[in-house]
Structure 1
């Protein structure tokens, strides 16, 4: 995982998103989504869809 993007987006919405894979490796949980990705909150009222994304929860 590219460390420069870790914690880049702290607010995301999983509505209408499809998860392709869930992995548990080295105390991290990795969620991989399909080509349509997830919704990322840009500000109070604006969301943008980000494609080909993976969300990683570290040290679980």
Structure 2
């Protein structure tokens, strides 16, 4: 009986980490997309700002 309680706690811990990892992954993807857009904007800006060197 006591052992069962312990394993259920472990399971909850596992689920918690699983959910946490999923959430982090999701926000990470969003962050990367935003960064990508930002990088593209900066590229356009720097292209406009300085003449081509080659």
Q: TM-score, normalised by structure 1?
A: 0.15
- Normalized per residue, the structure richer in helix is 2
- Normalized per residue, the structure richer in strand is 1
State which structure, 1 or 2, has the greater radius of gyration over its C-alpha atoms. Answer: 2
